[in-house]
Every structure is written in structure tokens, then in C-alpha cells.
Amino acid sequence: MFETLKGRIPKSIDEDEYRKFAVMVALLKQEDGLHVVFEKRAGGLKRQPGEICLPGGARDGNESSETNAIRETMEELKVSREQIHMIAQMDTLYTAYDNKVSVYLCELTDYEMTYNKDEVAEIFTVPLKFFMETEPEAYTNTVRLMPPEDFPFDQVPGGRNYHWRDGHKKVYFYYYKDWIIWGLTAYVLRGVARTLKTELPAPDCENLVV
């Protein structure tokens, strides 16, 4: 009776409780090697104005995470689908605030640093080699459960005095020239750099060929 379960691909038990997002780590060939494309978010945005981020955003309807990443990259950087050359899906990030962030790696070709001014204030690049060679500064935040007032404390041993365990989540910071890359964006870049260093046969970024 359990034959249909054989070979199933497991997923997170609480998968349906996460909001789905996707970001693109877009590589651009420069004279000194491959660079990562970053955005400074427009000042008029409601969420995180002026912060540094990667191209990306929330999933639209039933689209796949890859389609999500490609669509957002096209919209924000004003590039065509033909300019985006997908390399791989990287590791997924689950945040403490209920977001699932799918991460993709691509190469951009014929990119002229264009961007959508409604969403982006500025574009800049950072050498991929910088992230391969630099460990970010790390600070540990405490994540604490705060039950609502209508929580059934009378059904829990100890009631309101129940000892909830705290969680801990690191927040990373990269400093490159005058740019501060931190939070989720830094977390993603740290993960991508670690994957490249451990899974590529010769992780010399100046010689990486896409």
C-alpha cells in the first residue's frame, strides 16, 4: 500500500507556511574577472528602501521558483530572457520570519547596467573573488517565541511560566568599498561562495568559465 511513497522527494514539513521568494546571483564578466550584480533599492519603496539586494522578489501565482527569479531579474535589470544564462539552482534559505528564498546563479551577457528606476536607485558590481576570499563579520541575534494572548496556556505544563527555548540566527555583514552588504543578501552570498569553494574543482574566480 506504500509503493507510491517510494522514491518521493522529501520537503520541509512546514513548507506551506512559508512565503515564497527567489533571488538571482547574476554574474557579469569584467576585465578583472566575474562580478556579482547588486541593486540599491529605490528610496520610494515601502519595504527596505535604500538597502542593498540582489535581483529578486516574491513568487507570482503558481510560477516555478526559477521562473520567479528570471522574471524579477528581467523586470529589475531591464534585460531580455536571452541575456540570462542559467547556471544552477543554489541552496535554499529559510528565514526566521517565514520566508523561503530560492537562490539561482546565472551569467548576464551584453548587460549595460540598465535598471528599472521605479524599483532600483543604483546598480553596482562586486568581484566574485571578494566573496570567495572574504569571511563576513557575523553577529548572533536571538529569536524568541512570543505566544499571543489567546494561546491556550492552561493546556501547557507550567502555563504562562512554560520555558520556551530561544533560537539564534546569525546576521552577516560584508564591507566592500563604500557598500555595506548585510542581512539576507550577505547570507546568500556567503552560501554561494562556500558552495563554489567546496564543489568546484578549481575555484579561481578569475578563470571561472561559464
Distances (CA, A) of 28 to 5, 38, 75, 83, 107: 43, 11, 17, 11, 6
From first to last of its 210 residues, what are the pLDDT tens digits of the chain? 788 888 888 888 888 889 999 999 999 999 989 999 999 988 767 777 788 999 999 999 899 999 999 999 999 999 999 999 999 999 999 998 899 999 999 999 999 999 999 989 999 999 999 999 999 999 999 999 999 999 999 999 999 999 999 999 999 999 999 999 999 999 999 999 999 988 887 655 545 544
Q: Give me the CATH code for the 17-140+175-207 domain, please.
A: 3.90.79.10
pLDDT at 209: 46
In contact, 143 and 172? CB cutoff 8 Å: no
In contact, 146 and 115? CB cutoff 8 Å: no
Nearest alpha-carbon partner for 56 in 208, 162, 185:
185
pLDDT at 210: 45
Q: What is the dihedral of CA 185, 95, 119, 31, to 10 degrees?
A: 20
pLDDT at 207: 58
Q: What is the pTM of this model?
A: 0.89
H or E element: which one contains 123? strand 120-127
Mapped onto helix, strand or coil, the DSSP state of residue 185 is: helix
pLDDT at 47: 78
pLDDT at 203: 54
